[in-house]
Chains A and B, each alone.
Chain A
């Protein structure tokens, strides 16, 4: 990890989108009364004629984004991930089945948002959206990766969902050069355990692994920023190097990135998996720090959980 000041991926998104608007005239943006929170307001201020305020009407916004895509525009539609994935049928029909190349941006991922509590926390969005044929599902780990993905999404051939954090996250990449949709990147080498982390918990996972390194436990950490399509080549090779894999995500373990890895490993027929995420329970209010601790996502807690699976 570098010493750059931590920044929320939603903030990086807003900046990247405003930049993308300069070079891509077809980019249009829709928001449902949350532009200050999703940071799409940065685009709106710069390109008001290409920004559509859709009011608190997410279902209609999804359909309208599809219609814009069908006239050749590149629509980015923005809201909290919880509110967007809740309009699943509109995404299923008007975006996915229609093959409308809409870019769905869901911010406020997971319990990491803290204060507002469960109703605003996207916890099932990955599970829902990755069932849809040809839907790309992304969760960048830091600002560099967010910039790279937003730029690539201007030309991406499929509908896509990109999941972003409300809270600041540390930079885990050293350069944006090799950050591409579809690739799992190893961030730290290690021989005894593989940690596959995604989104807001990549930084903590990496830090936890470095802590354990000092205690003589060698853990490889990789960033799964493209959850669908899953990087099968990386996972096949990884299963040759490792017997034990842990997945880490601020999302329900059912159907999330851990679910996707579980499906892969079950079909591969070997490897032992432990999934860290939110279990069979709801989110709740509290300071982000207190909530992260309540769900076992702080760096010391992750280190402890990694160690106990390593020893198991």
Chain B
């Protein structure tokens, strides 16, 4: 177990260097004019140019110059210094303000997933091939097939504007009520996957020998399903939800952009729209690290939850 975690950590370090190198190289290196790329489709004054050249050591050329700048950027990243956005704000400050909102949204989405996805999955598995089972299968296929860029604006229009059940957008300090609809939209995708996963895994476990044993001991059905089957069936679901938490953090770009929620995804959305290069690179670097970390945690969790799984 220890050796596995160690190896996995080493792999992650490699992946971290690889990804940041790619992100950095693509954003800033090998272009005709990095300063122009940094500023986007806007004119750059001579004073700005001189300032940026000195700040980013752009006068050093060649491979040595590139790696010098990359290591500089990496050093800043490791110290938590992400630099400034084009508007002059510290990217670290922007992210610090945005994280709590994104985490709140992701948790609501996760709660929706667990509450509806797992419950409906268990019900569908118990009444396999029933009306409920078929209905949920069709519904999950629909949800999986409809992209977020369709689901989010349509939910906003129908449930926020046409029939105002939810507030259509969230403000600077979003309340729980304002985050509810975006949370449901964000969670619906993982809800569909969680439902299918639960259904398959419960169906498989219902056929297991220990269920027959429990039944022959005279246990009531409620207890067999609620305690024996559920506990064993939830292992793949829990690991899936772990991966999803990482996905929800980075996948909230569209949802946060549409519902105007000032989280991390919204800032990335705005950075793309306003051609704010440093902001985009800063946020993407952090999100990649979050993604890598959540994958690591899930891999370890997998081994802890299911003793049958052995690495090595």
Partners in one complex: no
Interface positions of B (Cβ within 8 A of A): none
Interface positions of A (Cβ within 8 A of B): none
